[in-house]
A and B are shown apart, each in its own frame.
Chain A
Amino acid sequence: MTNLPEKETPEGSTTGTEPEASALDERTFRGIPRPRSAAGLPLGDGTWHQLARGFLWVRLISTGASLVIVLAAAVAISLATRTPWVWIPAGVVLAILVWILAITPRQVRAFGYQLREDDLLMRRGIVFQRMVAVPYGRMQLVDIAHGPLDRGFGIAQLKLVTAAAATGVVLPGLTQEAAEELRDTLVAVAESRRPGR
């Protein structure tokens, strides 16, 4: 959780609604992973804002906690019943959790969003890549939530709601300040572009 002194100035075609003094890029990851295959979805122009570094710890701690709980439960059951069979389901769950732990850092880094002229762009995933573009005028609600662990790390989750349930734009780990700034920006922009629908 270092505060990087140098501030990236966003360049390119995305400066339309970019706030001036921005909290969006403080304490965040730098450099979204470029798809390794040339056939992947390209990053395109513009600067991607990324999630807060603290969010990686939130993810690791919560996954690690479930890992510990499953492990403890499995040990307790196998000691109490003196049968090894419990290790079959527990092993599967543990393997999955370890795998999740292993890929979490890359996954968290692959999240990105851009504030473009007329829409918000979100990108996620490395193996299953997804990019969503939401016109500002379509946003109905911007929701900020934080759990207890999130609060400890100063993290908030920001969710965009449109009339379509499938839109599913969730930015799970912004810094508190970035989330609030982004919300205010989005609400202001959405208000100015709202069609009558």
Chain B
Amino acid sequence: MSEQLPPLPEPSGPPVADAIPRSRLSDGEWHRMHPLTPLLRGGLFLVVVAGVVVANLRERIAEWFLPFLVPDLPDGATLPGDPVDYVLSHNLLLVAGLVVLTVVVVLVVLFYVSWQFHTFRITDDDVEVRSGVLFRTHRRAPLDRVQGVNLTRPLVARILGLAKLEVIGAGLDANVRLEYLSTAHAETVRADILRLASGRTLAAAAAHGGEAPSSRVASAASAVSAGITGLIVGPEEALPPESVVTIPPGRVVASHLLGGSTVTLVLLIAAIVAGSILGTPWVLFAVVPAVLGFAAYWIRSITRALRYSIAPTPNGVRITFGLFTTVTEILPPGRVHAIEVRQHLLWRPAGWWSVTVNRLSGRGIETGREELAAVLPVGTRADVERVVALLAPGTADAADLVFARGLDAPAGDGAFRTTPRRAAILRPFSWRRNGYSLAPGMLVLRLGFVWRRVVLLPLARMQSIAIDQGPVDRVLRVAGVRAHTVLGPVSGRIGALDRDDALEAWARAERAAIAAAAEDRSHRWAG
């Protein structure tokens, strides 16, 4: 890691607005992140320091800013000693000032050095990031394994006009993060990565960036003002593609209030109230934290689902969401491993559905921290059909499979092989509906009576398929089939199928999956 870095162009310059397909940030050379990066990345540390300082000085701060709160002390009584008193009483003002100055200088130097060493490079085959001074890390994501590129803008970064890019790799903890870049640069870099990943031939012309800005301060100031304008105005991109679905904010709120967690809350409150009546009334106080917790959860998930848009782009489906922290995901074609359309019982009168997918998130465990749990949090039938058509571009009639030939298909029409009557005891409500059908390139499962679901499994993405049978199943001559996909919220399992149907599904899906995988070319989708 001792190689000399080439002279770097200033990364926080004005956006490169020319139409050359490759910007100068992805020219195969090492580039630095935005200069404010260490501040944002070290934000937690600074917050902790500030917290310690405030905790130590709270009495003095209260005295300074809220003098009426400080009780009049009787003579002779002293406040517990705090560092400021100590400094003042020992004439250590100069020393204290020097210490503070040293700390600030050390921090600035550390930030500067860490910024110097935090660089990224985008070549024809990889995205690479290296960082760290003492412990160097070097991550590399091969472009033909890119599963998607997320652009996240937490609130603070948004005000500063910054964004972080996360290149989703295939595998656990395989993501490469470029944090932070100015928003305009992040957009161009993302476009470059996706274009390179798509395998489209690139114009050989070298990109000429704009001139380096006159000063760092000026560029930072312009970035801040642009960020604030963007916060107020809304869309921060030049031309965001038209969303095929719009979700009114009222529907987002209503759908959350009618969601499954509300049922849990009502049951919980009922249990607590009953407990307080039958037992001690103190139990009633347990309601308060429960309600607070749910309120926090609702607010978080509602703000995340606001400002939702989904649109097709040449490089895949583009999903944007979030009121405060804005996340823009691009899912290239062929990166969706399973699609589930489901409906809560409480949503049925309103006719709402949600769409969830399995995809490689590149993280070890599905944290859901900055991700939307669902690709479509709530939508009508027409919305669902449009979204599913976007997500399964290879299958012409994928949207039909959900409703017309899926959920709405009559029980006995033969399209679905369903649970035989003798096994109805295993699926007492849904046995007429519980079934599968094998469409070209797609395994369709229809499940559930109370929570209706349709699962679409693109066979070209299926990893393996299992058939299983327990002792009860054997008595009833049924078996279960489970299609294995990458880790995600959608399960590809269906139980209680007639044994011969299950065997047929298992064998045919396996054959079809092998054929589909052999024809699949979506890793270089523009090829």
B475 in contact with A135 (CB, 8 Å): no
Contact stretch, chosen from B27-35, B381-389, B483-491: B483-491
B520 pairs with A128, CB closer than 8 A: no
Q: Please give me the residue from chain B that is nearest to A118 by CB atom.
A: B514
In the assembled complex, which residues on chain A have CB atoms less than 8 Å from the CB atom of B521?
Answer: 196
Q: Smallest CB–CB gap between A36 and chain B, Å?
A: 9
Q: Is the CB of B499 within 8 A of A39?
A: yes
Stretch from A77-85, A96-104, A160-168, A170-178 forming part of the interface with B: A160-168
- The answer, yes or no, to whether B523 is at the interface (CB within 8 Å) is yes
Binding-face segment, B84-92, B368-376, B461-469: B461-469
Instruction: Mark B481-516 against chain A: 1 for CB-CB distance below 8 A, else 0.
Output: 010111100000000000100010010001001100
Q: Report how far A131 CA is from B75 CA in the complex, Å.
A: 85
Are A39 and B464 touching (Cβ within 8 A)?
Answer: no
Shortest beta-carbon distance from B491 to chain A in Å: 9
Q: Are A128 and B471 in contact (CB under 8 A)?
A: yes
Selected contact of A119 from candidates B145, B170, B466, B514, CB within 8 Å: B514
Of all chain B residues, the one with the shortest Cβ separation from A133 is B510
- Whether B136 is near chain A, meaning CB under 8 Å from some CB there, is no
A130 located at the interface, meaning its Cβ lies under 8 Å from any Cβ of chain B in the complex: yes
In the complex, the number of residue pairs spanning A and B with C-beta atoms less than 8 Å apart equals 94
Query: What are the residues of chain A within 8 A of B469 when measuring CB–CB?
Result: 40-41, 128-130
Q: Is there a chain A Cβ closer than 8 Å to B143's Cβ?
A: no
Whole-angstrom distance between the Cβ of A10 and the nearest chain B Cβ: 20
Q: In this assembly, does B177 line the interface, its C-beta being within 8 Å of a C-beta of chain A?
A: no
- In chain B between 322 and 356, which residues have their CB closer than 8 angstroms to a CB of chain A? none
Q: A128-B470, A131-B466, A169-B464 are in contact. Are A164 and B486 (CB under 8 A)?
A: yes
Is B144 an interface residue, CB under 8 A from the partner? yes
Which residue of chain A lies nearest to B461 when distances are taken between CB atoms in the complex? A197
Asked if A167 and B484 sit within 8 Å, CB to CB, the answer is: yes
Interface bits A6-46 vs B (CB < 8 Å: 1, else 0): 00000000000000000000000000000001011110000
Closest to B480 in A: A130
The answer to whether A134 touches B522, judged by C-beta atoms less than 8 angstroms apart, is no
Interface readout for A102-140 with B: 1 if CB under 8 Å, 0 if not? 000000000000000011000000011111111101100
User: Whose C-beta in chain B lies nearest to the C-beta of A37?
Assistant: B474
Interchain CA distance A166-B487 in the complex, whole Å: 8
A116 to chain B, nearest CB (A): 9
Q: Which of A142-197 contact B (CB under 8 A)?
A: 162-167, 169, 193, 195-197
Q: Tell me if B518 is interfacial: C-beta within 8 Å of chain A.
A: yes
Given A165-B487, A196-B524, do A129 and B477 touch, yes or no (CB 8 Å)? no
Give A contacts to B, CB under 8 Å. Answer: 37, 39-42, 118-119, 127-135, 137-138, 162-167, 169, 193, 195-197
A-B contact pairs, 6 of them (CB 8 A): A131-B468, A162-B464, A162-B484, A164-B485, A166-B487, A197-B517
